[in-house]
């Protein structure tokens, strides 16, 4: 019997319907404990990246465990406020901040803002007239990580971060605006990184940048190295879990060594994990709608798909899928597919040969970047999210109704 924190998958599906995202808070807590264990001895600050998954209840859970929160929109900020986060616990991110975003920072609704470009810094300087705003400058460390290796690239060609050629301008803007207080530097390498050396190299690159800013008279109290801590997503895949204790200890040591070698104060380090806190804690329950034997493949069509989990479509992500009712029967190769009017394949799976419409399937490791990326394509209602812990379950987010789906229609 498939269970989450002592609650059976069948009970959850009957109580809340499907598709259903189940968040096992015991798994979340184990992930938080692992980060705290690795970070606390070194004074490394942990701020959870809300974009991975957030709800008011989930944010309250994180707040009670002492985590900061990274928000990247006024929508995520509203959730953080409703959860009870004080501004000091919040960092505002975003690659294209709107006037509303900048006003939120200028009004002191967040403890700090990670500024992602020169234009944005100028706009923030114009908006911040009443009170002091703590600013992190987001850079590119130039370190590109692959699953098992990392390289230093000459210059990162993504939209993120302030380019090295603009650093002097950024420093001059801050120096000219007394309401902007330079708190330090930020850079985020990417996602699903399993190489601890990549994190250390990335942190060193940030210290090098801190030395350049020190040359402009701006001392970096903080160096925030972003998220991207790798988690296993598919059983049997070639993904070695990252040793967090070793990763954090190494990056802290190498940061200190580099800062001492460059003769600058050692910055306080911050990290921003998202996926590594919530991915493994999430499972999506689907009901099989149909089995279709086509020319070469058998498709299992489920009652969700790219609308509740766009990761397979966007990134080719793979998730392990298990049958809830009939595990152990002789398996056959199938392709899981959603019910959208698209080729929304969710990936291959091995499932019992006697699988039928109405059976429940559990798709694993769907806690991160699934619900938070969900859409109403085909006017499907978004699924419910339920939290389980200690044999009990409660809703984090209720299932959308059809009224919700059309509520913004002006002619309704």
Contact residues toward ligand PLP (CB under 6 A) are 49, 51-52, 70, 93, 188, 191, 226-229, 272-276, 368
Q: Which C-beta is closer to ligand PLP: that of 163 or that of 326?
A: 163
What tokens does 291 get? 């089995």
Minimum CB separation of residue 225 from ligand PLP in Å reads: 9
Q: Which C-beta is closer to ligand PLP: that of 49 or that of 124?
A: 49
* 341 included as an active-site residue: yes
Q: Which C-beta is closer to ligand PLP: that of 33 or that of 333?
A: 33
314 burial class (0-12, 13-18, 19+ CB within 10 angstroms)? exposed
Minimum CB separation of residue 70 from ligand PLP in Å reads: 6
Minimum CB separation of residue 259 from ligand PLP in Å reads: 22
Q: Cis (ω within 30 of 0) for the bond into 19? A: yes
Minimum CB separation of residue 52 from ligand PLP in Å reads: 5
Minimum CB separation of residue 67 from ligand PLP in Å reads: 13
Q: What is the dihedral of CA 285, 289, 292, 298, to 10 degrees?
A: 10
Q: Which C-beta is closer to ligand PLP: that of 19 or that of 273?
A: 273
Q: Which C-beta is closer to ligand PLP: that of 227 or that of 304?
A: 227
How many residues would you count in the chain?
A: 412
- Assign 307 to helix, strand or coil: coil
The CA-CA-CA angle for residues 192, 190, 306, to 5°, reads: 65
Radius of gyration of the chain (CA): 23
Range 287-313 burial, b when 16+ CB lie within 10 A, else e: bbbeeeeeeeeeebbbbbbbbbbbbbb
Contact 234, 320 (CB under 8 A): yes
Point out the catalytic residue in the list 1, 176, 330, 341. Answer: 341
Phi, psi for residue 245 in degrees, rounded to 5: -60, -45
- Residues belonging to the active site: 341
């Amino acid at each position: 019997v498939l269970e989450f924190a002592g609650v059976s998958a069948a009970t959850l599906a009957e109580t809340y319907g499907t598709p259903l995202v189940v968040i096992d808070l015991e798994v979340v807590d184990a992930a938080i404990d692992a980060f705290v264990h690795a970070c606390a001895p070194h004074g490394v600050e942990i701020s959870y990246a809300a974009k991975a998954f957030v709800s008011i209840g989930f944010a309250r859970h994180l707040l009670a465990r002492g985590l900061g929160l990274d928000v990247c929109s006024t929508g995520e900020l509203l959730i953080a406020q409703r959860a009870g986060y004080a501004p000091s616990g919040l960092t505002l991110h975003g690659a294209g901040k709107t006037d509303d975003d900048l006003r939120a920072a200028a009004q002191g609704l967040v403890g700090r803002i990670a500024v992602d470009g020169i234009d944005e810094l100028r706009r923030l300087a114009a908006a911040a007239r009443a009170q002091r705003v703590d600013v992190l400058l987001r850079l590119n460390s130039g370190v590109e990580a692959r699953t098992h290796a990392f390289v230093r690239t000459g210059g990162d060609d993504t939209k993120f971060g302030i380019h090295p050629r603009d650093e002097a301008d950024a420093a001059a803007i801050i120096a000219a605006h007394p309401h902007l207080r330079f708190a330090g530097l930020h850079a985020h390498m990417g996602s699903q990184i399993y190489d601890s050396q990549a994190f250390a190299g990335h942190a060193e690159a940030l210290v090098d940048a801190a030395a350049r800013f020190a040359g402009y008279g701006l001392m970096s109290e903080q160096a925030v190295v972003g998220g991207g801590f790798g988690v296993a997503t598919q059983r049997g895949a070639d993904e070695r879990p990252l040793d967090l204790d070793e990763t954090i200890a190494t990056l802290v040591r190498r940061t200190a060594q580099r800062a001492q070698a460059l003769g600058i104060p050692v910055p306080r380090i911050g990290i921003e994990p998202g996926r590594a806190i919530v991915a493994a804690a999430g499972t999506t329950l689907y009901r099989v709608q149909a089995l279709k034997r086509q020319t070469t493949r058998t498709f299992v069509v489920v009652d969700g798909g790219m609308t509740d989990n766009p990761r397979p479509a966007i990134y080719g992500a793979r998730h392990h899928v298990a049958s809830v009712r009939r595990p152990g029967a002789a398996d056959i190769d199938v392709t899981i597919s959603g019910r959208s009017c698209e080729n929304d394949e969710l990936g291959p799976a091995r499932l019992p040969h006697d699988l039928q419409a109405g059976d429940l399937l559990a798709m694993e490791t769907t806690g991160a970047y699934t619900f938070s990326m969900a859409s109403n394509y085909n006017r499907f209602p978004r699924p419910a999210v339920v939290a389980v812990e200690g044999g009990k379950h409660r809703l984090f987010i209720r299932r959308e109704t059809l009224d919700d789906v059309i509520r913004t229609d002006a002619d309704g």
